[in-house]
Amino acid sequence: MIIPSLRRPTAVLTAALLGVSLVLSAAIGASAQETRTIDADNGTIEAPANPQRIATLGRANGSFLALGGKPIAVTKLRQGDFDALLEDQQAAYEAATLLGTSASEADLEKLASLKPDLIFISVPNADFEQMKEKLEAIAPTILLGFHSDWKRRVEVVAEASNKVDVLNKQKADYDQQVAAIKTKYAETIKNDTFVEVGSGEFSKVAVFHLNGSTCTEVVRADVGLDIADLGEGGQSRSYEQIGALADYDVILYPVDHKGNVTEAFRPMTESSAWQALPAVKSGRTVGIYCPLDRSYPGNSRYMESLDRGLAALPKDE
């Protein structure tokens, strides 16, 4: 008489489970190796299709955080830029490992130890060329050039980080906001000439800039303000040339995220030449807050400050 083995079903089940496990492992392995092609400012990059550990360096910090990203590593933001982040963005930034005070001086050994699967970096091209080989040895690296179109920049970040849905919602909100401003201030936009003046924290003393911020291109292209294109970075002027601003109907000047005149620009507003300008004397100046992250939420905040400023302009008699 042959007695059936009581161990056989267990063996069969074990073999079956092992087979399933091998199939799942193979699927996971294949998924982990999937890539997508990203057209970045440093060429065509083969990036992970579903990156989980993203590091951001330089101005790429703000671009990724604005999409709700949670980087594993960052470089230091200026205090003003950090203060301007939303609360959840500040938390995501503070939870990341700090690689250094600037992208060009980032601790790349520490970055490598974190095992990122994708790196976003935004630095001048010359700085990137010096870092390129080391960065690309760590993980696929996407350069967001300083001079590239901001809308294309955020599209690249969203595509590479699987946040296209987030971007589409932000874009729709921004487009609606811009359309409202164009309708609300149609006469001002049509009839007035504008100039943007500013002074960066690293600018020379007694020097100001005309139409030099990234927001100038935004307000010209999207809103349609009559504001001259003076080239990348605008043009510099000495305080002796402040009087030339009398040629413009409305002057835009820089404020921080709380609406206060920036520290770097305050000396110009305190000068007698500034106080004598027709636009200043008639209240036709507008304080604008221009974030540096070049994102839809960032430029939405710029539009909010522009809206408030245009609303406060004296009505033409």
Could you state, in order of their start, the residue ranges of all structural domains in the chain? 34-162, 167-312
pLDDT at 244: 93
pLDDT at 186: 96
Q: List b or e across 271-304, with b for residues whose CB sees 16 or more CB atoms inside 10 angstroms.
A: eeebeebebbeeebbbbbbbbbbbbbbbbbbbbe
Q: pLDDT at residue 292 above 80?
A: no
Residue type, 284: R
Correct CATH for 167-312 of 3.40.640.10, 3.30.70.1250, 3.10.20.30, 3.40.50.1980: 3.40.50.1980
Q: pLDDT at residue 308 above 90?
A: yes
151-171 per-position pLDDT tens digit: 999 999 999 999 999 999 999
31-69 per-position pLDDT tens digit: 446 999 999 999 999 999 999 999 999 989 999 999 999
**Which residue has better confidence, 310 or 28?**
310
- Least confident piece of the model among 72-76, 178-182, 202-206, 249-253: 202-206
Q: pLDDT at residue 229 above 70?
A: yes
pLDDT at 20: 41
CA distance 17 to 23: 10
pLDDT at 204: 61
Q: Would you say the CATH fold of 167-312 matches that of 34-162?
A: yes
Average pLDDT over residues 221-237: 88
CA atoms within 13 A on the CB side of 128: 21
Q: pLDDT at residue 14 above 60?
A: no
CA distance 238 to 252: 17
How does residue 202 score in pLDDT terms, banded at 50, 70 and 90? low
- Rg value, the chain, Cα: 26
| Average per-residue pLDDT for the chain | 87
Residue type, 86: L
Average pLDDT over residues 206-234: 87
pLDDT at 197: 94
Question: Is 55 exposed, middle or buried, given 0-12, 13-18 or 19+ CB atoms closer than 10 A?
Answer: buried
Which class is 34-162 in CATH? alpha beta
